[in-house]
Amino acid sequence: MNSLTFTATFDAAVYSGNDTFCPTTDCLIFAYQVTDTGGVAAGTGIIEHVTASNFANFSTDVGDQTLSTATSVFAAGGTAPSTVDRSLSGPGAVVTFDFPDATGGNSDLIPGDHSTVLIVETNATNYTTGLFSAIDGATATASGFGPASATPEPASMALIGSALLGLGLLSKRIRRQS
Amino acid sequence: MKRFFSSALGLSAMSIAACASTLIPGEALQSPDTLSLTGLTMIASETNVH
């Protein structure tokens, strides 16, 4: 990922399991980690925001995890986001992780640093290609993972259809009796 | 009737508590939750994406 002010790489993974929205069934959890690989010029290269999309029409719980040991996808440790937010438009299509715009501290994401594992818990059960961006005035975007709307299975459609038919017959019978 | 209202109030409180840590559309600058990947099954991944 190259922008006018920084270069970066990112890692992403989709997990299945219980989360805030699905305590007993399996839903999808999306995880991302960005690594700031350099500034284009001296004094540049800070990444202030990292965004992931498209989460429109899905419930989200947004946070991060600092891994104590690296996994096959994600590195241990890292810089944690200071705040998170979610766009009003979409609705809620874009989830943003914010990093402080300050050099010299331990909390900013500067060249050579990587973020903690940025996590979005959802109520989604399918995934598709999403977008992942890193921003510092200029934006760099790459394809990542995002949630996809579930397509009703034929059996589910048949169940809904028979329920509607039953309701129709019931209301007809009530009308005839009255 | 009193019991009905009490249980409705209890259910409302439970649903508010369940949503307390979620991020809804338009939510601005919240502290990130402490989440965990422990116990989850990875189903897809990509690394070193440029």
**Domain for residue A160, yes or no?**
no
Better-predicted residue by pLDDT, A65 or A39: A65
CB contacts under 8 A, B 1-50 vs A, are 18, 21-37, 39-50
Better-predicted residue by pLDDT, A40 or A98: A98
Q: Quote the mean pLDDT of chain A.
A: 88
Instruction: Name the domain count of chain A.
Output: 1
Better-predicted residue by pLDDT, A123 or A39: A123
Give the CATH number for residue A80. Answer: 2.60.40
Confidence of residue A4 (pLDDT cuts 50, 70, 90): confident
Better-predicted residue by pLDDT, A137 or A28: A28
Closest chain A residue by Cα to residue B40: A17
DSSP string, B12-42: HHHHHHHHTT---TT--SBPPEE---TT-EE
Question: pLDDT value at position A107?
Answer: 67
Q: pLDDT per residue over B12-48, tens digit each?
A: 555 544 444 588 898 888 999 999 999 999 999 999 9
For residue A100, pLDDT beyond 50: yes
Question: pLDDT value at position A158?
Answer: 66
Question: pLDDT value at position B17?
Answer: 46
Question: Of B22, B26, B46, which is closest to A12 when you measure between CB atoms?
Answer: B46
Closest chain A residue by Cα to residue B33: A63
Mark yes or no for CB contact A15/B22 under 8 Å: no
Which phi and psi (to 5°) does residue A55 adopt? Answer: -105, 15
**Domain for residue A172, yes or no?**
no
For residue A153, pLDDT beyond 80: no
Better-predicted residue by pLDDT, B27 or A119: A119
Q: Which domain holds residue A105?
A: 6-152
**Domain for residue A22, yes or no?**
yes
Question: pLDDT value at position B12?
Answer: 55
- H/E stretch holding A128 reads strand A126-136
Q: Which range has highest mean pLDDT (A24-38, A42-56, A133-147)?
A: A24-38
ipTM of the modeled complex: 0.77
**Domain for residue A171, yes or no?**
no
Confidence of residue A41 (pLDDT cuts 50, 70, 90): confident
Mark yes or no for CB contact A91/B26 under 8 Å: yes
Q: Which residues of B touch A18 (CB under 8 A)?
A: 39
Question: pLDDT value at position B20?
Answer: 47
**Residues of chain A above pLDDT 70, percent:** 90
For residue A58, pLDDT beyond 70: yes
Please name the amino acid found at residue B6: S
**Domain for residue A96, yes or no?**
yes
Residue A145 contacts residue B45 (beta carbons within 8 Å): no
Q: Name the DSSP class of A44.
A: -
For residue B1, pLDDT beyond 60: no
**Domain for residue A174, yes or no?**
no
**Domain for residue A125, yes or no?**
yes
Strands (E), A26-125: 27-39, 49-53, 60-65, 83-86, 95-98, 117-122
Q: Which residues of B touch A133 (CB under 8 A)?
A: none
**Dist. CA A129–CA A147, nearest whole Å:** 8
